[in-house]
């Protein structure tokens, strides 16, 4: 093996053309007269309604930032892979470190997918960390806030998810007992009329069943709540158009992900073919993919997932593009209180925020995971505490780890 081959095969070798590490940039890690360096990055997986991946970034100043990456296999391994690229760096340089990780991981797919998701968790932790170092809330790092509280929409479920009356009953309960004025229900549920599901075709019986769910739910809550309906990319183009047309006379907040996400032209055709609002975005990555979707007119409401799409600043960039086209932002969110509060901090800092999703209302210990109560009466009050404004309860965390996981090693933190 010659020297060139050795460099190419070393995963930690610095062979990228555009190295943004502090040493290559000629940067000092000084903050005034004091140096701050990242000393460690750790992850732990929590057994929530999804296997949440929490991320901690540690510094020699004794200050720790907490973030969250969208759940999924290999995300902790990717974060561990990036750990050497962060050790010794100044955490204050959030944008540079984000681009540094994108560059270093370019060969491993940092355009989209799990690599971007892993970077998202680190980026959120850096916002929490830098907010603590500066003594300001995370929204202040994004330019300040438009609102003191953020609307939350509750993703609702029932044991009889295909029963229109059961869905209506649950909608009424969530509004009256839990205080939400924004809801979402699934439409890709069994109807009893299914034909060949592989071809994504909806027959007339299936469409009638989905219309009945929408009719019952929207009639039950009327003006007390707005209701969206999620299709989870289940239908072909013609079926999606027929379904959207069939519900145009109902008070549908939006119809979410009616067609698979890969073909943006089909998405655009479906959106432009109906007055029913169409939302999508959770399976698109970074601002470039969302920009194409927005500029092509493929979406009425954009729904990025912040711990998946690239992090807090990337989500703000998406919101800025959306704002130029008068498109509102409704953040998809299946995260723990950490990722949820990160989404809320961004939602507070952008003018075109509709709501942030909450997917865990049936998980009894969700709010116990942090020392604060993030959601009250269908809203998140934006905290004035530094960083994200929530702190992990380590005792609760220890009770709900994924099997085989161990707590963060913080024995050396002072």
Q: What is the 3-state secondary structure (H, E, C) of 296-357?
A: CCCCCEECCEHHHHCCHHHHHHHHHHHHHCCCCEEEECCCCHHHHHHHHHHHHHCCCEEEEE
For the chain (length 414 residues), average pLDDT per consecutive 10? 43 58 65 75 96 97 97 94 96 96 85 91 98 98 97 95 95 97 95 86 95 98 98 97 98 97 96 98 92 95 97 98 98 97 98 97 93 92 97 95 91 62
Enter the tokens of residue 118.
């892993």
121 with 181, same domain: the answer is: no
What is residue 46's three-state secondary structure? Answer: strand
What DSSP character marks residue 278?
E
pTM, full prediction? 0.92
Q: Say how far apart CA 112 and CA 119 lie, in whole Å.
A: 11
93 with 222, same domain: the answer is: no
Q: How many CA atoms lie within 13 A of 304 on its CB side?
A: 38
In a domain, 402, yes or no: no
97 with 191, same domain: the answer is: no
In a domain, 98, yes or no: yes
Give pLDDT, residue 20: 78
Q: Say how far apart CA 22 and CA 237 lie, in whole Å.
A: 49
Q: How many domains does the chain have?
A: 2
186 with 334, same domain: the answer is: yes
In a domain, 390, yes or no: no
In a domain, 411, yes or no: no
299 with 162, same domain: the answer is: yes
Enter the tokens of residue 208.
């009638």
191 with 145, same domain: the answer is: yes
In a domain, 397, yes or no: no
Q: What is the CATH number of the domain that holds 234?
A: 3.20.20.120
Considering only CA atoms, which of 53, 63, 68, 50 is closest in space to residue 122? 68
- Which structural domain range is residue 18 located in? 3-135
Q: What is the phi/psi pair of residue 143, to 5°? A: 110, 5
Q: What angle do CA 269, 271, 273 make, to 5 degrees?
A: 65
Give pLDDT, residue 112: 82
Enter the tokens of residue 339.
């990722």
Q: Say how far apart CA 389 and CA 338 lie, in whole Å.
A: 9
Give pLDDT, residue 372: 87
314 with 239, same domain: the answer is: yes
In a domain, 399, yes or no: no
């Amino acid at each position: 093996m010659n020297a060139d081959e050795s460099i190419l095969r070393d995963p930690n070798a610095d062979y990228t053309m555009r190295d943004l590490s502090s040493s290559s940039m000629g940067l000092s890690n000084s903050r005034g007269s004091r140096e701050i360096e990242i000393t460690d990055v750790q992850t732990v997986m929590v057994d929530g309604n999804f296997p949440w991946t929490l991320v901690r970034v540690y510094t020699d100043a004794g200050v720790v930032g907490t973030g969250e990456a969208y759940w999924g296999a290999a995300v902790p391994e990717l974060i561990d892979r990036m750990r050497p690229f962060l050790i010794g760096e100044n955490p204050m340089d959030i944008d540079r470190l984000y681009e540094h990780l994108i560059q270093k991981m370019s060969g491993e797919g940092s355009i989209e997918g799990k690599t971007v998701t892993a970077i998202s968790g680190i980026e959120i932790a850096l916002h929490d960390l830098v907010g603590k170092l500066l003594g300001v809330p995370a929204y202040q790092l994004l330019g300040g806030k438009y609102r003191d509280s953020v609307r939350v929409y509750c993703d609702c479920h029932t044991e009889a998810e295909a029963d229109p009356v059961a869905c209506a009953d649950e909608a009424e309960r969530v509004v009256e007992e839990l205080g939400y004025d924004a809801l979402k229900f699934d439409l890709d549920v069994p109807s009893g009329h299914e034909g060949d599901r592989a071809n994504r075709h909806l027959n007339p019986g299936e469409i009638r069943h989905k219309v009945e769910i929408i009719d019952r739910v929207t009639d039950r809550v009327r003006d007390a709540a707005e209701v969206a309906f999620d299709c989870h990319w289940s239908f072909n183009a013609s079926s999606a158009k027929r379904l959207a047309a069939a519900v145009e006379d109902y008070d549908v907040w939006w119809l979410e992900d009616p067609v698979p996400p890969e073909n943006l032209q089909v998405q655009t055709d479906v959106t432009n073919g109906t007055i029913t609002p169409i939302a999508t975005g959770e399976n698109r990555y970074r601002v470039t993919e969302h920009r194409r979707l927005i500029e092509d007119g493929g979406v009425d409401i954009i729904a990025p997932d912040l711990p998946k799409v690239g992090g807090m600043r990337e989500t703000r960039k998406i919101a800025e593009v959306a704002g130029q086209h008068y498109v509102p932002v409704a953040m998809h969110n299946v995260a723990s209180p950490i990722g949820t509060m990160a989404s809320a901090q961004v939602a507070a800092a952008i003018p075109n925020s509709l709501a942030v999703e909450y997917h865990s209302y049936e998980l009894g210990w969700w709010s116990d995971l942090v020392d604060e109560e993030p959601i009250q009466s269908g809203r998140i009050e934006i905290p004035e505490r530094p960083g994200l404004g929530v702190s992990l309860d380590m005792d609760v965390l220890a009770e709900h780890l994924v099997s085989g996981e161990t707590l963060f090693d913080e024995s050396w933190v002072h």
